[in-house]
Amino acid sequence: MIRPPLPPEAKPDAALLSFCEQAEDRVLQLTEQLVNMDSGMDDLPALERKAHVLADIFRGLGADSVELREAPEPRRGSYNVVASFKGTGKARVLMLTHYDTVFPAGESARRPYHREGDFAYGPGVADMQSSIAMLIAAVEVLHDKLGQRNYGTLTIHCNADEETGSYGSRALIQELGRAHHVSYNMEQSGKNGELITISGRGIAKGTLTVTGVASHAGGGPEKGRNAGYELAHQLLQLMDLSRPEIRTGVHWTMGSFGSKLNVIPDHAEAFADIRVTRIDEFDRIRNTIEERIKNKLIPDCRVDFDMDISVLPFQNDPVTLELADKVVAFTERELGRKLGFRHANGGNDTSHCAQVCPSLDGFGLGCLDNHSEKETLPVATIIPRMYILIRTWQETFAGHMLNIDN
């Protein structure tokens, strides 16, 4: 592959850049190994097999401890891999990854890793098997090529259930976050590796339930109280809860009423996809809905609302922005690349960790068409993104990213 030269104003660490260039083949070899192993989010045997493979890789890297932590219900039978390296410095850095994919059992055999020119393909190649591969190779460069271990602890967490909401790992992620100064997530960095992620929306499911009175639709419809009519009324008066100016989205996406053609329905329900960037928006939405549903079309119907918050927002707070600004600054200075800020539409493990620990996202590789058969890794993003990751570590270990007192 012929790579474009760095712009003349770029001032990279020449030795580090060379080591990253040399490590590209290693990243692709590891990516092929991981992509060609199923690890679908519901395939527990495959997930366990990959967990052991990852644990063996980390042991081979000389990790001081490697644990397979079984998830609690509802994800019992899946395993989080936690590998820790001890160094000579103070900074405690947590790296977040996930090794589950959205693809079913047998997908890796049906559609194995392959490369065509500047792009690589396969199930989970971008989300996020290649980013795990790059992280592994970056640890090798840090330790074996640069001889640097000037951190207190470098911990890698490989999650087995990120694609299903991290219900079996979020408590562990927060436990780890509390024990570290900062966390960096290996989620993707845009189609050309040009972004750093500074916020992610919180996610909740809203459930609107209507209870009416059943009756025979032909013989006594007037005796019933039609829950379907009441649901329609409620949905019409709950259409305007989104606030696009602050990226709040409330969308009623599923619903149903009735089960028999000749019966006035006594039950109806609808579900809302709720996404917010500010945690107080959850309260605003809940309070607004609970107040509005008091206004009924059919007084004898009962209307209830419940909200299940699955992910809290990862907010672009001052600490996050300061971390991002420093990454942007050295990337432009050393590689001549201007990183943009990404505001993720959904949440991920950064959202859980950011509640207890300064966090920044988007340290993985470039990506195209995630979660589809066209999912693509742009190979050209490997070298610059590895460079950015290692330089972020170096700046963090040296205390330049944030103040580290103990």
With tokens 């068409």, the residue in question is 369
d(Cα 102, Cα 223) in Å, to the nearest integer?
48
- 392 bridge partner residues: none
pLDDT value of residue 9: 85
Q: Domain check: are 272 and 292 in the same one?
A: yes
Q: What is the pTM of this model?
A: 0.89
pLDDT value of residue 1: 58
pLDDT along the chain (406 residues), means of 10: 75 96 98 98 97 98 98 94 98 98 97 97 97 98 98 98 92 97 96 94 96 97 97 98 96 97 98 94 98 98 96 86 96 96 87 93 95 96 98 97 85
In a domain, 298, yes or no: yes
pLDDT value of residue 5: 78
d(Cα 366, Cα 77) in Å, to the nearest integer?
31
- Residue 24 carries which side chain, given as an amino acid letter? E
d(Cα 38, Cα 45) in Å, to the nearest integer?
9
Residue 106 φ/ψ region, left for φ over 0, alpha for ψ in the -120 to 50 degree band, beta for the rest? left
pLDDT value of residue 45: 97
d(Cα 157, Cα 190) in Å, to the nearest integer?
22
pLDDT value of residue 347: 77
Domain boundary among 296, 311, 326: 311
Cα 366 to Cα 199, 306, 350: the distances in Å are 18, 38, 18
Q: Domain check: are 276 and 332 in the same one?
A: no
Q: Domain check: are 329 and 302 in the same one?
A: no
List pLDDT tens digits, range 259-269.
Answer: 999 999 999 99
Q: Domain check: are 269 and 337 in the same one?
A: no
Burial class (CB in 10 A: 0-12, 13-18, 19+), 242: middle
d(Cα 395, Cα 170) in Å, to the nearest integer?
27
Domain CATH for 356: 3.40.630.10
pLDDT value of residue 7: 85
pLDDT value of residue 20: 98
Q: Domain check: are 348 and 297 in the same one?
A: no
Q: Domain check: are 194 and 210 in the same one?
A: no
**Domains: count for the chain:** 2
d(Cα 239, Cα 250) in Å, to the nearest integer?
8
- Domain that includes residue 240, residue range: 202-311
- Per DSSP, the chain holds a count of helices (H) and strands (E) of 10, 17
Domain boundary among 311, 329, 354: 311
Domain CATH for 238: 3.30.70.360
d(Cα 49, Cα 53) in Å, to the nearest integer?
6
pLDDT value of residue 316: 73
Q: Domain check: are 166 and 196 in the same one?
A: yes
Taking only Cα atoms into account, the Rg of the chain, rounded to an integer number of angstroms, comes to 24
Q: Domain check: are 196 and 224 in the same one?
A: no
Q: Domain check: are 120 and 266 in the same one?
A: no
d(Cα 82, Cα 63) in Å, to the nearest integer?
10
pLDDT value of residue 2: 55
Give one DSSP letter per residue of 193-255, joined into a string.
Answer: S-EEEEEE-EEEEEEEEEE-B-EETTT-GGGSB-HHHHHHHHHHTTS---BGGGTBEEEEEEE
Domain boundary among 261, 288, 311: 311
Q: Domain check: are 223 and 150 in the same one?
A: no
d(Cα 95, Cα 82) in Å, to the nearest integer?
10
List pLDDT tens digits, range 24-38.
Answer: 999 999 999 999 999
| Sequence-separated (6 or more) residues with CB below 8 Å from residue 245 | none
d(Cα 337, Cα 88) in Å, to the nearest integer?
32
Q: Domain check: are 116 and 236 in the same one?
A: no
Closest to 339 in 3D by CA, of 387, 375, 292, 293: 387
